A and B are shown apart, each in its own frame.
Chain A
Amino acid sequence: MTIWAILWLVILIAIFIGTYLLNKHTPKPEGCEDMSECVGCNNIACSHHSAHHKEEVKNAD
């Protein structure tokens, strides 16, 4: 039973990593908004918050 549990978790994690990588490598359609500029809420912990985008630009400079 433990082996099944470990196998099941490995399958699920592999599926998640697979879908994440596929999604990451799928190009965004033209004209789509830049998600790093989101100002939907004030949660600065979210990676889409504009504060992170400003940091990236600052580091690039």
Chain B
Amino acid sequence: MELVSLFIGLTFVNNVVLSKFYAICPLLGVSKKPKNALNMGYAVTFVIFLASIITYLLYYHVLTPLGITYLDLITFILVIASLVQFVEMFLKKTSPEIYKSMGVYLPLITTNCAVLGVALDNISAGYTLIEAMVAGLAVPIGFTLVIYVFATIRERLEIANVPESFKGTPIALITAGIMACAIAGIAGLV
């Protein structure tokens, strides 16, 4: 039951994009088309899930025994960057179709601060491995939901009668703000 609460909490209530403001860059950059937004979401889900497990194991089984936990930030950055390179190479070799569908979004995950944020939050929150795995699934699912909904709204805004000065990024930021208010409204759910 606690894991379910954690999952719902991280997906909706403490949504990584709308409550912590991580991953704003891909939210604004890759939300022009819903299909692209979904592709980004899949890629981020895959990488965050793997990264949260690997970084958790490295922190508790390498950094802590060696007494070098102060290197957690640089360790996680290098691990995530290496993981993205490895995943890209793996997909090139084994699944060209998935590689083709993800395209440029795969290397761009390296710069997605949500990946690093989840890895650091897992440690600071004192999660167990199972909880870290649940967080590694819940956070990117929340990210995917938000970026997809945001992309569908932006698609409609393209044909809406928006005042000239609000067209483009300004109306997108206002939309993101209203979505954040809506998410804040369910803060007492979990």
Contacts and interface: CB of A to CB of B under 8 A. Distances in A.
A57 interface: no
Interface stretch (B11-19, B87-95, B140-148): B87-95
Interface residues of B, number: 32
Contacts of A27: 92
B68 A4 contact: yes
A32 B100 contact: yes
A41 B62 CA distance: 38
B78 A12 contact: yes
A41 B107 contact: no
Contacts of A43: 25, 29
B78 A16 contact: yes
A35 B85 contact: no
The DSSP consensus for interface residues of chain B is helix
Contacts of A46: 108
Interface in A32-46: 32-33, 35, 38, 40-43, 46
A9 B74 contact: yes
A4 B81 contact: no
Interface string A17-58: 001101100111111110100101111001010000000000
A27 to B, nearest CB: 7
Contacts of B25: 41, 43
A35 to B, nearest CB: 5
Interface of A: 1, 4-5, 8-9, 12-13, 15-16, 19-20, 22-23, 26-33, 35, 38, 40-43, 46, 48
